[in-house]
Amino acid sequence: MLDNQTKVCTKCGVDKLLTEFTKEKTGKLGRRSKCKPCQAKHLAEQAKTKRETTPKNVVKCCNRCGENKGISEFYKGIGKYGRRNTCSTCLQYAEAEIKLTLTPQQKAKKKETQSAWRLANRDTVNAKKRREVTGFTKACTNTAKEIQNNQCAICGVDFLNVTPKNIHADHDHITGEKRGLLCAPCNKGLGHFNDSTILLRRAAEYLENPPLRGVL
């Protein structure tokens, strides 16, 4: 019966099937007024506002261990103060307990599901790795592209002709300073030379005046 019934979302205004709305006894037709995607977006924005307006010294009680902990000890979520209701330590313990109780078949299925998600969300995964390793956020990357006219800072290749995974955020491995965006070959080239300006100059001199020119 629900396959044919529809309802208009009060947020996006689209007429959708009832299955696209979360159940709610007091709602019209027994469903919420917002569709699932709009509701999720609304909760995320609400949680973000809570996090931004919550002082950093606020403490929160974990619903698993019962301890009062600093707000930074809780992962982001839609709970009180825009954080999850279980502290990060308890969540890690819970995840470890679940892994111990999983059968080999369940572990294999979970691994397959995770691999499929990473493959379908490759850009998100790459952006997260880039942010963690180099400090380049999406905003930093977009700014760098504007400054470099959407080209590699060394060879000048147009990034429109390069797949996103082959656009590398280059940074100083010692100081952490952001240096620029490079194509994969240029970034690997710097890596092979250990970011040494001395070796790179010697390489340029070698190409300009190879020792065996005119000898062999």
Closest CA to 61 of 85, 97, 90, 44: 85
What length does the chain have? 216
- Report pLDDT for 50: 86
- Report pLDDT for 159: 92
- Report pLDDT for 27: 84
- Report pLDDT for 202: 94
- Report pLDDT for 3: 57
3-state secondary structure (DSSP) of residue 70: strand
Q: Whole-prediction pTM value? A: 0.46
Residue keyed to tokens 């995964």:
125
- Mean pLDDT (10-residue bins), the chain, 216 residues: 77 88 86 89 86 87 91 88 91 85 85 83 72 76 91 93 87 84 93 91 93 86
Q: Domains of the chain by range and CATH?
A: 1-53 (3.30.60), 123-206 (3.40.1800.10)
Count of C-beta atoms within a 10 Å radius of residue 195: 14
Count of C-beta atoms within a 10 Å radius of residue 170: 22
- Report pLDDT for 2: 53
Count of C-beta atoms within a 10 Å radius of residue 182: 22
Measured distance CA(124)–CA(13) in Å, rounded? 28
Q: How far apart are the first and last CA of the chain?
A: 86
Measured distance CA(94)–CA(18) in Å, rounded? 34
> How far is C-alpha 163 from the chain's CA centre?
18
Measured distance CA(95)–CA(90) in Å, rounded? 9
Residue keyed to tokens 């469903």:
31
Measured distance CA(64)–CA(97) in Å, rounded? 14
- Report pLDDT for 118: 78
Query: Can you say whether residue 44 is alpha, beta or left, with left for phi > 0 and alpha for psi between -120 and 50 degrees?
Result: alpha
Measured distance CA(187)–CA(185) in Å, rounded? 6
Query: Can you say whether residue 2 is alpha, beta or left, with left for phi > 0 and alpha for psi between -120 and 50 degrees?
Result: alpha
The encoded tokens of residue 113 equal: 């599901």
- Report pLDDT for 182: 93
